Structure 1
Amino acid sequence: MTIEQGNGEMTEKANVCENKLVEESDIVKSRYSPLCRQFVAAIGCTATTISVGMTIGYSAILLPELQHPSSRIHVDLEIASWIASIALLPMAFGCLVAGYLMDRFGRKMTILALNVPFTVGWCIISMSDCMFWLLFGRILTGFCCGVLSPTTPMYLSEISAPKYRGFFLASITLDVALGVLLTHFLAIYCTWNVNAIVCGFLPFIGYIATTFVPESPSWLLKKNCIHEAHHAFVWLRGCDESASIEFQSMVDAQIKNSAATSAQHSDDDTENNGSGAGRQHHPIDHLRQLIAHKSFNTPLIILSIYFATLQFSGVNAVIFYTVTILKDSLSGTDIDEYVATLVIDAVRLVAALIACIVVKCAGRRPLTIFSGGSTAICLFGLSYYLSLSAENSLRNYASIPLALFVIYTLVLSVGINPLPWCLTGELFPLRYRAIGSAFVTAFNFLCFFTVVKTSPIYFSIYGGSKMFCFYGILTAIGTIFLTLVLPETKNKSLQEIEDNYTVKRKHKMSRNKVQP
């Protein structure tokens, strides 16, 4: 097919799509508003993400029970660190697999497919009677979390209106916080086996809820399914003037991208025919060309630094070893570490709820600066307290470490915890969104694994004071970097964000042509 034929077909499909507007008026006249339908579409993602939070928080209640003398599975410190961190390596691998699955089969189908083994993994954990099956269940649930981690924010960003997108994306951390809280709360009343059964219900609910909602309009457009994309877009967003303009801009952008892709393929065919070799492009060459694109490498670098800052702020070290860390930090006080754990979990949940509102009202940049700076200050405060506490100078001030933990959890949860997930669904252009999200979330889980695997060992060697100081320094450095380079995406459509890269690239090219 020639470029002109391809563009003509795309344009014809776009015109047919516009003519179908009257036929789809029954969707527009539905008794439910577009916002309500966007909430319905997000239910499956919500249930699944809550189970992701349960996977993250599960080790905090599992390890103390396994270390109890009456446990049928006994663990030492080394094995305990592996049980906590073993789910994270398959998470990183799952993120890379997600890049292919999302592009090949769609966002919705990827979520549907992964909820099945997710439920099976929790069942395996529940029925485990030896270390092998326990670790296998953790690996399987970790892999599913990895695939779903980039898929969920991408689907939510592509189904939501620009003014509500921040809320939906910030709700991811709310769901994770709720999952962590539910897991820790259930530990009061049931054993780790029963807890795992409850955790397995959430992916099952997610599968049922996702079955009845449409596929991402952006993915359908990328596959040139114009009519299906328009139908999904109208179901989700209605058909007011602003929504119609946004959809038309998406169609126009897809036409241009298809033309550019066809031109590139035509040039490659000409080159191959001229050489007479029929040369195949090596995947390494394709990756090198991909990294050379500013619209890919710029968000890749920004989000990688953001996720590294998040993980080395110690957020997940605290979640995975909450009871252990609080027991050491509150030793010699009258505060029960399990009660303190639930208090911090509740604060994390409330802060995540606040973040859903704040992200919708405030920009990404000011929230990053406030949250990152405040988190670093809290970490330095905890470090200072523990250094004095080691000398028995502050043993009578039991409320200080708990207050610092609460403030740390609050300021981190309203900013640098939800924002990188929000930006993952926003910064990458559509043609790079799947592979870019896969790369940065895989990097995130590698950092996640590094922190969680090394935390118990380094805390025992260097103590909490030096570790919190180390986390504080890295958080401060990352915040300074993000202050300098992070773009603002609040209230911008995904197409406007993508066009921003194109405009900058064209401006740079024209400026280079003017120079002698």
Structure 2
Amino acid sequence: MTTDKQSHWKEYRAAICATLIMVAAGNAIGWTSPTLPRLQEEDSPILITSSQSSWINSIMILSSTASALPAAYLADRFGRKSSMLLAAIPYIIGWIMIIFASTVNELYIARILPGLGYGVIYTIAPMYLGEISSDSVRGALAILITVMNKLGILLQYCIGPYVSMKALAGFNLSIPVLFFLTFVWLPESPYFYVTKDNIPPAMKALKRLRTTDNTSDEMKKIKTTVAEDMRNRGKFTDLVTDPSNRKALGITLVLFGTQQFCGSAAVISYAQQIFEQAGGKIKASEASIILGCVQLCAAASTVFLVDRVGRRPLLIISSLGVCVMNAVIGSYFFYKDYLKADMQSVGLLPVFGIVLYIVLYTIGLSTVPMAVTSEVFPTNVKSHATSVLQIFVGFTTFTVTKMYQVIADKFGNYVVFWIFAVCSFFGLVYIYFQLPETKGRSFSAIQHRLRHNRSVERDAEQQEQSF
């Protein structure tokens, strides 16, 4: 099968439609940046305190942990596509509630509901994209998850400061509706059909995803891979009892741990507030828009970089970069808030520092862990692994977003950013010494590599080339 990029347009079409729900997820994350400062103003329609603000921000991601495990069951029982369509419903209900909300408790509930959808899509979307894509574009398609998420965040930065909370919620309501209306026509994962021994619909789905009708060789490889993976039905315990699964789980836990504890969730959710506290020369709302634009462009560029440069180099550059920028931003707040130094001469430093932080974060830590997740786990435990990872990400993101406000209020912003710098450094060390490269490798070759069986890996690659 040809590896010409243009031959994969059907895969990109399916991936774009599938990841429209990620725009809805980005909307839910970015909504807090322009909305929370407004809700704390005296003329707010629902006046909130700083503590309530941190709960409104963090409770959505905390609720995502409740839906990750059910999502794994839904994906294996009813399919990846049907489960992702189901995830649109909590988003729709949540935004309708925000439109009509009049109390803080109603806002809490309205934030919990999208969190349930968030847990489902971040458990299942990596599976779906990994299973519909060819080896040569699998990394790029997986990164669309993050690209579309960043698009949703940017939309909130651009629209939120200039419209009412109800109007913003109305706009956000349209995104999951659009996702449902477009994705419902797309095919199910061929891998899912093969796991159910439904070969004719699997072949039909594969032909709809490829620009060639000659898919028999690829279907043969899919059946071989699924047969090997499903020989023993996957259980949650297989994630720790099987050596290759255990290594894959350890790698992905560290990647997502570094992704969260480098401070990304706090910077994105509190962007406008951070810019206001930094006292730069650019309006906070305008700085947030710049941040969102840069973030989206960086994520989009990673689509082209990940299958050329590789996963490992991008993660090393990203971890080192965010470590340095966290230290720089922390130092700025230390001089400004603790030493009370005059920072007018470097008034643009926090804007440039945070923008550069976002660029470095997005080209690696933000995007690549999702691609790695879609590659390193076999089919029989992939849903279990992604659900465990989503629970882990939910709790770590909640911890970062909730404790950021607490620590910043008590000790100062500089302490928070220095903590983020230390966490980034430890992640960098692990990635440098432990992370294998998965660029361009098939699922079977990656599994053999995780088992450290190089001769078997070469045999598997030779066998693939013979197809």
TM-score (norm 2): 0.91
> Greater CA radius of gyration, 1 or 2?
1
The amino acid that maps onto 1:360 is D
The amino acid that maps onto 2:27 is M
**1:121 to 2:70 alignment:** no
Q: Deviations over 1:430-470 (max 9, x none)?
A: 11111101101210111000000110110111212221111
Give the drift of 1:474.
0.5
Contact 1:365 1:486 in 2 (8 A): yes
Instruction: Flag the 1:307–1:256 CA change in 2: closer, same or farther, 3 A.
Output: closer
Residue 171 of structure 2 corresponds to 198
Residue 459 of structure 2 corresponds to none
After TM superposition, the structure 1 = structure 2 runs for residues 317-356 of structure 1, keeping only pairs within 5 Å, are 317-330=266-279, 333-356=280-303
Residue 379 of structure 2 corresponds to 430
Aligned counterpart in structure 2 of residue 76 of structure 1, from 49, 58, 74: 49
- Structure 1 CA distance for aligned equivalents of residues 232 and 281 of structure 2: 67
- Structure 1 CA distance for aligned equivalents of residues 273 and 208 of structure 2: 48
Residue 462 of structure 2 corresponds to none
The amino acid that maps onto 1:53 is G
Give the drift of 1:410.
0.7
- Structure 2 CA distance for aligned equivalents of residues 289 and 37 of structure 1: 34
Give the drift of 1:334.
3.1
TM-score (norm 1): 0.83
Query: 1:213 aligns to what SS in structure 2?
Result: coil
Give the drift of 1:224.
1.4
Give the drift of 1:130.
1.6
Aligned counterpart in structure 2 of residue 296 of structure 1, from 239, 245, 250: 245
- Structure 1 CA distance for aligned equivalents of residues 436 and 354 of structure 2: 30
The amino acid that maps onto 2:183 is T
Aligned counterpart in structure 2 of residue 55 of structure 1, from 15, 25, 28: 28
Instruction: Flag the 1:107–1:328 CA change in 2: closer, same or farther, 3 A.
Output: same
- Structure 2 CA distance for aligned equivalents of residues 72 and 259 of structure 1: 58
Give the drift of 1:180.
0.7
After TM superposition, the structure 1 = structure 2 runs for residues 78-93 of structure 1, keeping only pairs within 5 Å, are 78-93=51-66
- Structure 2 CA distance for aligned equivalents of residues 361 and 92 of structure 1: 34
**1:245 to 2:217 alignment:** yes
Percent identical residues: 28
Give the drift of 1:343.
1.1
The amino acid that maps onto 1:50 is V
Q: Deviations over 1:371-396 (max 9, x none)?
A: 11111011111122222234315332
- Structure 2 CA distance for aligned equivalents of residues 503 and 395 of structure 1: 55
Aligned counterpart in structure 1 of residue 354 of structure 2, from 405, 408, 414: 405
Contact 1:163 1:491 in 2 (8 A): yes
Residue 367 of structure 1 corresponds to 314
- Structure 2 CA distance for aligned equivalents of residues 362 and 190 of structure 1: 41
Give the drift of 1:289.
4.9
Q: Deviations over 1:137-191 (max 9, x none)?
A: 1100111111111211211111111111121111211111110110121123311
- Structure 1 CA distance for aligned equivalents of residues 375 and 231 of structure 2: 24
Contact 2:207 2:213 in 1 (8 A): no
- Structure 1 CA distance for aligned equivalents of residues 229 and 374 of structure 2: 20
Instruction: Flag the 1:352–1:377 CA change in 2: closer, same or farther, 3 A.
Output: same
Residue 379 of structure 1 corresponds to 326
**1:39 to 2:12 alignment:** yes
Q: Deviations over 1:339-358 (max 9, x none)?
A: 11111111111111111111
Give the drift of 1:287.
4.1
Instruction: Flag the 1:301–1:109 CA change in 2: closer, same or farther, 3 A.
Output: same
After TM superposition, the structure 1 = structure 2 runs for residues 210-289 of structure 1, keeping only pairs within 5 Å, are 210-239=183-212, 244-257=216-229, 259-260=231-232, 287-289=236-238
Residue 65 of structure 1 corresponds to 38
- Structure 2 CA distance for aligned equivalents of residues 226 and 415 of structure 1: 37
Aligned counterpart in structure 2 of residue 492 of structure 1, from 432, 437, 441: 441
- Structure 1 CA distance for aligned equivalents of residues 228 and 308 of structure 2: 33
- Structure 1 CA distance for aligned equivalents of residues 301 and 229 of structure 2: 39
**1:152 to 2:125 alignment:** yes
CA RMSD of aligned residues (A): 2.2
- Structure 1 CA distance for aligned equivalents of residues 14 and 331 of structure 2: 47
Query: 1:483 aligns to what SS in structure 2?
Result: helix
Q: What are the ranges of 5 or more consecutive residues in structure 1 without an aligned counterpart? A: 1-27, 265-285, 508-516
Query: 2:43 aligns to what SS in structure 1?
Result: coil
Aligned counterpart in structure 2 of residue 306 of structure 1, from 223, 241, 255: 255
Contact 2:229 2:379 in 1 (8 A): no
The amino acid that maps onto 1:381 is V
Residue 421 of structure 1 corresponds to 370
Residue 152 of structure 2 corresponds to 179
Query: 2:344 aligns to what SS in structure 1?
Result: coil
Across the two proteins, how many residue pairs are aligned to each other?
451
Instruction: Flag the 1:354–1:256 CA change in 2: closer, same or farther, 3 A.
Output: closer
Residue 461 of structure 1 corresponds to 410
- Structure 2 CA distance for aligned equivalents of residues 290 and 380 of structure 1: 36
- Structure 1 CA distance for aligned equivalents of residues 124 and 69 of structure 2: 11
Residue 429 of structure 2 corresponds to 480
